[in-house]
Amino acid sequence: MENKNIILEKTFEFALKIIDYAEQLEDSKKYVIAKQILKSGTSIGANIREAQSAESKNDFIHKLKIADKEANETEYWIQLCKLAKNYPNPLEIENELIEIKKLLSKIISTSKSSI
């Protein structure tokens, strides 16, 4: 039986949705925000994937903290898009990001307590 890694799956799906959202922003000529949200939003999953090959528990936690920082940055860009006039609604990705942040927080907390 294959073990599923929920955080890897969720962040991969989230990255695909971020790509779609960034394309919507570019279609609306919101190039600067599109680039920022694309970079930070896809980086979350990339850092979590990198954490899977960590050299130690501390390295694992460090890489997850980087992913958490990228999630916080993405949250900032989503908040701007949500409140700015004439921007596509980011509600779906906002809700998914909240769930990812909760998972990340729990994994980091659990990992720290096992050291």
Burial (0-12, 13-18, 19+ Cβ within 10 Å), 21:
buried
User: Contact 41/82 with Cβ under 8 angstroms?
Assistant: no
Domain locations in the chain? Answer: 6-110
Which fold would CATH assign to domain 6-110? Answer: de novo design (two linked rop proteins) (1.20.1440)
- Entry pTM: 0.94
Residue-wise pLDDT tens digits, 68-109:
999 999 999 999 999 999 999 999 999 999 999 999 999 999
Residue 42: which of 66, 17, 6 has the closest Cα? 17
